[in-house]
């Protein structure tokens, strides 16, 4: 009681002093056209009154794309170096489909004794009988033109270079391997002006069974990711299943160029193998490749990687309700099948799993189904669930519009509350990661979309800080900022847009934007083993202008998060903060770390969308 009284007196004293102090400074501030025309907002923190226990870990997600790739990116070193500097826990790494060659290890189905290739104009088909130490003995099919069909069922199209088969035979028969370019210089041009493909089917002597594993791009990105996050907990999501596991009316053709986007890759709604064994085997082999030095393929042949990696959590699929239109019953069976497949091929029973990864439309019935253990096979763990939140802008260029992000997050929090109720009822041991939290601006993947102004980075950074804080009150385990690096159209690299507004890093330099620096600031400050939230109130009762929350650690460290939700300057009073240290991320801190200021006044001006952490002076000084 006594302490509270004392603190109150100090607050009143500070207030009086500082209001007097600041009247002159305010004169200059008022010239700013975007000053919130209200009295400074008072932040009142009851340092001795417990609010809630803090255990929400701030972190980020990393999604595979060409800018992370050693093969294609001029800045992948900077990107991974900046990832490493975050020292984040529970980082989510999503190996996601828009670039099939970067995300899927076996892009074509195993094809028994037939070996096939199918590439677009100007790419090459590589054929090899090395596996059986044999030679190419028979060309079953070859057509440069508009032929189609899968291995074993190829069909000539209307357009067909008459001598395709003879040409392939001449180049390949009797060879251990051969490479045939799909070019009109070799085959002649059977239909000028039409884009052509080359399809070939051959056999080897002695015969060999054929699979199409290729880890070239997956390996280098995963190596760099695992190196950059070594020593930390990680959640790996091989989100994308080979689409040939699903029934398809006409086979989907993926891009030959590894850097071209294919938003239509996840086709099919029903697995070919309804027992889901084949699905489990794909994941089992993938995991054996990375964690057990290699795997045994569909025909009993060993593929050696020498990788012996390990990570903590594996997430199963991504935004399932969109991709392959899975129902929750279907997904739950698939979740079990993938875990069983991983166990079959790796004998690893210690791996922990993250389920669901739901996108925007959070159906509560899905949580009720998935979190009910009796809907799962025996011995299937429900270690963690995951779901996502994005705020959407209406404008790419008007910062005023971005004030709406915060209200969208408030609505999401109601969903979180309901999901938490379901989780606590059905499976209280299951943890939660909200493993995509971010902002998407309109037309983000349209090449002509205008570039947003730099203050956008601050608006999105403020949204994440706000989301982390609001989510922390719900007791969620992890809140994951989305995502390390995206980009607009980059003509020099021939890259199509990849959600530039979701990026944390600058895509030309690899430097941290405000979104990166806020993530780092929270990671560096939050101490889930020691911090608790204390009751915090402000005179901004509607919460329209600012958000603020005080935290105190067991060792007495007191810190305050303050977020300006407005595209305007907002002034606050934080009694008792003089002599304390403020770290602020705002437009002025740009691509650099937070600006550090020793506070000499209790009045703080927050520029538009600024986020500050104030470390209060140690209590003894009071």
Ligand X SMILES: *[C@@H]1O[C@H](CO)[C@@H](O)[C@H](O)[C@H]1NC(C)=O
Query: In the bound complex, what is the minimum distance in angstroms from residue 131's beta carbon to ligand X?
Result: 9
CA distance 342 to 339: 5
Task: Name the DSSP letter for residue 490.
Answer: B
CB 80 within 8 A of CB 267: no
Backbone angles phi, psi at 442, to 5 degrees: -65, 155
Task: Pick between residue 87 and residue 397 the one whose CB is nearest to ligand X.
Answer: 397
In the complex, the smallest distance separating the C-beta of residue 370 from ligand X, rounded to whole angstroms, is: 11
Helices (H) and strands (E) in the chain, counts: 12, 24
Q: Nearest approach, Cβ of 101 to ligand X (angstroms)?
A: 7
Cα–Cα distances in angstroms (integers) from residue 497 to residues 261, 395, 448, 493, 505, in the given order:
9, 17, 10, 11, 15
Q: Which is nearer to ligand X, 80 or 254 (CB)?
A: 254
We find the least distance from the C-beta atom of residue 445 to ligand X, in angstroms, to be 16
Beta bridge partners of 482: 61
Q: Which is nearer to ligand X, 86 or 119 (CB)?
A: 119
Looking at the Cβ atoms of 56 and 501, the one nearer to ligand X is 501
Q: Which residues pair with 125 in a beta bridge?
A: 180
List contacts with ligand X (CB under 6 A): 72, 119, 121-122, 124, 126, 162-163, 179, 188, 195, 207-209, 214, 216, 257, 259, 299, 372, 374-375, 426, 454, 493-494, 506, 508-509, 591
Nearer to ligand X, 269 or 277 (CB): 277
Tell me if residue 275 falls in helix, strand or coil.
Answer: coil
Residue, CB closest to ligand X: 259
β-sheet bridge partners, residue 93: 62, 236
Q: Which residues of 565-602 are buried (b: 16+ CB within 10 A; e: fewer)?
A: bbbbbbbbbbbbbbebebbbbbeebbeeebeeeebebb
Which ranges constitute the DSSP H helices of 427-454? none
Residue 72 vs 93, nearer CB to ligand X: 72
State whether residue 42 is helix, strand or coil: strand
Minimum CB separation of residue 588 from ligand X in Å reads 14
Strands 115-120 and 197-205: antiparallel
Do residues 453 and 504 make contact, with C-beta atoms less than 8 angstroms apart? Answer: no
In the complex, what is the shortest distance from the CB of residue 162 to ligand X, in angstroms, rounded to a whole number? 5
| Minimum CB–partner distance for residue 307 and ligand X (Å) | 17
Specify the residue, 64 or 318, whose C-beta has the smaller distance to ligand X.
Answer: 64
Question: Nearest distance from residue 608's CB to ligand X, in Å?
Answer: 16
Least distance between ligand X and beta carbon 222 (Å)? 15
Asked whether the beta carbons of 107 and 254 are under 8 A apart, the reply is yes
Considering the complex, state which of residue 105 and residue 391 has its C-beta at the smaller distance from ligand X: 105
**Cβ neighbour number for residue 528 with a 10 Å cutoff:** 14
**Tokens 């070799």 map to which residue?**
186
Give the CA count within 13 Å in the CB-facing half-sphere of 364: 13
Structural contact between residues 432 and 476, judged by C-beta atoms closer than 8 angstroms:
yes
Q: Among positive and negative, which fits the CA dihedral 17, 23, 24, 30?
A: positive
Across-strand partners of 604? Answer: 572
Q: Choose between 411 and 454: whose C-beta lies nearer to ligand X.
A: 454
DSSP 154: -
Instruction: Report the residue number, 444 or 540, with the smaller CB distance to ligand X.
Output: 444
Residue 399 beta carbon to ligand X: minimum distance, rounded to whole angstroms: 14
């Amino acid at each position: 009681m006594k302490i509270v009284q004392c603190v109150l007196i100090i607050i009143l004293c500070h207030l009086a002093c500082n209001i007097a102090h600041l009247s002159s400074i305010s004169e200059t501030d008022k010239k700013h056209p975007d000053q919130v025309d209200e009295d400074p907002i008072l932040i009142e923190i009851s340092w001795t009154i417990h609010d809630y226990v803090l255990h929400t870990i701030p972190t980020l997600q990393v999604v595979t794309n060409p800018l992370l790739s050693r093969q294609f990116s001029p800045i992948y070193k900077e990107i991974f170096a900046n990832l490493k500097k975050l020292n984040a826990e529970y980082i989510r790494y999503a190996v996601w489909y828009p670039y099939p060659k970067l995300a899927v290890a076996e892009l074509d189905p195993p094809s028994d004794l037939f070996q096939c290739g199918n590439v677009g104009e100007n790419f090459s088909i590589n054929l090899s009988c090395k596996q059986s130490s044999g030679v190419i003995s028979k060309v079953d099919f070859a057509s440069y033109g508009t032929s189609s069909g899968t291995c074993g069922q190829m069909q000539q199209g209307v357009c067909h270079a008459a001598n395709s088969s003879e040409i392939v035979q001449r180049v390949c028969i009797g060879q251990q391997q051969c490479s045939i370019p799909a070019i009109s210089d070799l085959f002649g041009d059977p239909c000028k002006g039409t884009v052509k493909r080359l399809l070939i089917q051959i056999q080897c002597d002695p015969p060999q069974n054929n699979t199409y594993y290729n880890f070239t791009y997956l390996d280098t990105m995963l190596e760099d990711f695992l190196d950059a996050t070594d020593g930390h907990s990680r959640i790996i999501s091989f989100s994308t299943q080979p689409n040939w596991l699903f029934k398809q009316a006409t086979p989907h053709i993926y891009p030959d160029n590894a850097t071209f986007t294919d938003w239509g890759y996840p086709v099919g709604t029903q697995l070919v193998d309804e027992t889901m064994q084949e699905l489990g085997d794909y994941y089992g082999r993938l995991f054996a490749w990375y964690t057990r030095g290699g795997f045994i393929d569909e025909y009993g042949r060993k593929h050696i990687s020498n990788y012996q990696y390990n990570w903590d959590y594996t997430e199963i699929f991504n935004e399932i309700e969109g991709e392959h239109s899975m129902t929750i019953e279907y997904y739950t069976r698939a979740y079990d099948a993938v875990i069983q497949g991983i166990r079959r091929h790796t004998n690893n029973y210690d791996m922990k799993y993250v389920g669901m990864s739901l996108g925007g439309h959070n159906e509560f019935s899905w949580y009720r189904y998935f979190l009910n253990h009796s809907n799962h096979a025996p011995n299937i763990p429900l270690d963690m669930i995951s779901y996502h939140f994005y705020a959407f802008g209406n404008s790419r260029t008007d910062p005023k519009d971005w004030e709406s992000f915060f209200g969208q997050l408030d609505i999401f929090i109601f969903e979180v509350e309901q999901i938490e109720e379901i989780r606590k009822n059905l499976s209280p041991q299951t943890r939660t990661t909200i493993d995509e939290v971010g902002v998407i601006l309109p037309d983000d993947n349209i090449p002509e979309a205008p570039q947003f102004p730099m203050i956008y980075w601050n608006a999105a950074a403020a949204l994440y800080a706000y989301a982390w804080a609001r989510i922390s009150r719900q007791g969620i385990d992890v809140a994951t900022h989305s995502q390390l690096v995206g980009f607009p159209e980059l003509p020099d690299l021939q890259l199509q847009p990849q959600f530039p507004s979701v990026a944390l890093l600058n895509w030309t330099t690899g430097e941290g934007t405000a979104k990166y620096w806020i993530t780092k600031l929270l990671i560096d400050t939050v101490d889930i083993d020691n911090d608790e939230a204390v009751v915090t109130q402000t005179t901004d009762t509607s919460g329209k202008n600012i958000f603020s929350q005080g935290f105190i650690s067991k060792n007495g460290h007191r810190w305050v998060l303050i977020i300006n939700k407005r595209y305007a300057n907002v002034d606050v009073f934080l009694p008792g903060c003089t002599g304390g240290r403020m770290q602020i991320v705002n437009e002025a801190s740009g691509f650099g770390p937070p600006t550090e200021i020793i506070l000499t006044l209790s009045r703080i001006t927050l520029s538009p969308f600024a986020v500050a952490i104030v470390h209060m002076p140690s209590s003894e000084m009071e």
